[in-house]
Amino acid sequence: MNYPSNPNPSSTDFTEFFKFDDFDDTFQMIMEEIGRDDHQSSSPTLSWTSSEKLVAAEISSPLQINQATSPMSLEIGDKDETKKRKRHKDDPILHVFKTKSVEKVALDDGYKWRKYGKKPITGSPFPRHYHKCSNADCNVKKKIERDTNNPDYVLTTYEGRHNHPSPSVVYCDSDDFDLTSLNNWSFQTTNTYSFSHSAPY
DNA sequence: CGAGTTTGACCGGCGC
DNA sequence: GCGCCGGTCAAACTCG
């Protein structure tokens, strides 16, 4: 697989936008590949090496969530491990993203979300936040909680798959894209980048 | 005024 | 059966 360059989120270089697009497609391919596998068999770790190439490495222990190795890295696991009950065959597939976040607020992933709950979690000083996709026909949910072992990181659990494009993608693809709004756009891209790998989910 | 957030109540699964 | 806990609901509230 030909992995694209790392879209540096701090960059305001306009060309990064196209790399970002390529990356998103590649990530979707990876995730779809994962989707064909038995989710209990493996959990991939995605991260960028110093050469800014995306690498996907299978880790032997299933459902493992490792420590992120850099602010740019993210990891994916199947959160079923955290469920008390055993996995049912018709359970929805969950994908967990671990991202470094120094912000107090959750990063935007390009979709519009409506918060519908917040609960304290036993054993964690941080509450868990519950969100639904704002699109009426889309029942994707996400849960956001801070990593208790590493409060610098945020765990975002996505459940379901969006049946509509990301509003931010529509915006970025629009013909009347205005270069004068580049600063604002770059900010959006930065945020989207942080979670965009989850966009189809 | 509409959309999104807050927050207490409620519900169901699970372990004991 | 009971209590705990995670997840959801929905009314009240806030904000643009």
Question: pLDDT tens-digit profile of A22-58?
Answer: 333 334 433 433 333 333 333 333 332 222 222 222 2
Question: pLDDT higher for A107 or A128?
Answer: A128
Between CA A134 and C1' B3 the distance (Å) reads 10
pLDDT digits (tens, 9 = 90+) for A165-178: 766 544 433 343 33
State the CB neighbour count (10 A cutoff) for residue A176.
Answer: 4
Q: Say whether the CB atom of A128 is under 7 angstroms from strand B.
A: no
- Nearest CA to A168 out of A148, A143, A187, A154 is that of A187
Cβ neighbourhood burial of A142 (10 Å; 0-12, 13-18, 19+)? buried
Nucleotides of C under 7 A from a protein CB: 4-10
* Structure-token pair, residue A97: 């993203």
**pLDDT at residue number A156:** 82
- Nearest CA to A201 out of A73, A111, A90, A83 is that of A111
Of all residues in chain A, the percent with pLDDT exceeding 70 is 27
Strand B: which of residues 92-111 in chain A lie with Cβ below 7 A?
none
pLDDT band with cut points at 50, 70 and 90 for residue A150: confident
pLDDT greater than 90 at residue A128: yes
Query: Does the predicted TM-score (pTM) go above 0.85?
Result: no
Segment A59-78 mean pLDDT: 31
pLDDT band with cut points at 50, 70 and 90 for residue A181: very low
- Element (H or E) spanning A194, and its range? helix A182-196
